[in-house]
Amino acid sequence: MERVTLGQSDLSVSRIGLGTMTFGEQVDEAGSHALLDRAVAAGITLLDIAEMYPVPARADTFGRTEEIIGRWLKARPGMRERVVVATKVAGPSRGYDWIRDGSLDLTGAQIVQACEDSLKRLQLETIDLFQIHWPARHVPMFGGVYFEPAKDKPVASIHEQLEALAQLQRAGKIRHIGLSNETAYGVGEFVHLAAQHGLPRIVSVQNAYSLVNRIVENGLDEALYRHQVGLLAYSPLGFGSLTGKYDQHGLADPAKPGRLAIFESMKKQRWARPETLAAARRYNALAAELGMTPSTLAIAWVSSRWQTASTLIGVTTAAQLDENIAALGRTLDADTLARIDRIRWEIRDPAQ
């Protein structure tokens, strides 16, 4: 599988990365280990993890995904050298009062402690890519559309966070740093402050990017390009909406075909909006016209964009894994791309 270098780093990652938020919830430990083995055998080297996984986040499952992957690595001598381990420290509480007692900030000290805890769960000495899962400051994210100055509040500065990350890097506990759910402003500030103070430079930003959410293209992509920061595109299948599994029966499908139908909390998210599902049906119908599965069209589109360094896939079965990997090499011709853009012009980004 083709690899790409993340930003100005020495991290070489596969063009498809394995997201693990289902491990420990929808997929048990044995199934998770089997999927990890299959992914690595297919050439995937990037493992995307987070301290708060699995999803939906709950107090009794906090850290479970890291523990599952830690035991997988421990049981396979030599595997650690074959994969890039990327995990994330959660930002200020979004109702998760079991994470740092529901802290509404993400201080330097909290970053350091979170890293120490992740290392223990993963049974590792070093994390390859340590990311801030979402900003401490107020930004429109997870379905938010507008920046609202009235919601701004004092929080730990980006400089303080970079100092903590530098401390971890000097101690050999992390190799590189990245961000997630960030804005163009945040990317610029992290890059400029790092240069000004001799602190670690971000190598990646992990944001949603899919046919139903292309807001990366509204200025963030320029910031990533000019600052030489790689995009890790998450939810390329729009949390399952772009697989076609909800097209016929919607989220009330008694068969419970995916996360949006299984978990009530997820029905309140941007991926479950009626507008998102309606848009997905348009793209899924286009895929059928083109003689390919909806997942193939969606993955092929994201992975072929110049903005994308690596496309992060989340799966629960071997069949899903194989289909998503196979889509990586699929070429979309100019007419197909134009038809995609015409749909987008009409419906814009319903899962923003």
Which residues form the catalytic set? 53
Amino acid at 148: E
- Residue of 248, 144, 202, 217 lying closest to 6 (CA atoms): 202
- Residue of 343, 295, 297, 301 lying closest to 323 (CA atoms): 295
Report the 3 state secondary structure along 238-280.
HHHHHHCCCCCCHHHCCCCCCHHHHCHHHHHCHHHCHHHHHHH
Q: What is the C-alpha to C-alpha distance for residues 239 and 51, in angstroms, rounded to an integer?
A: 20
CA distances from 181 to 132, 233, 330 (A): 9, 10, 27
CB 65, CB 24: distance < 8 Å: yes
- Residue of 298, 279, 289, 301 lying closest to 350 (CA atoms): 279
Report the 3 state secondary structure along 140-158.
CCCCCCCCCHHHCCCCCCH
Q: Mapping DSSP to helix (H, G, I), strand (E, B) and coil, where does residue 188 land?
A: helix
Backbone angles phi, psi at 101, to 5 degrees: 55, 35
Q: Please give the structure tokens belonging to residue 310.
A: 């690596």
Q: What is the C-alpha to C-alpha distance for residues 225 and 219, in angstroms, rounded to an integer?
A: 10
Amino acid at 215: I
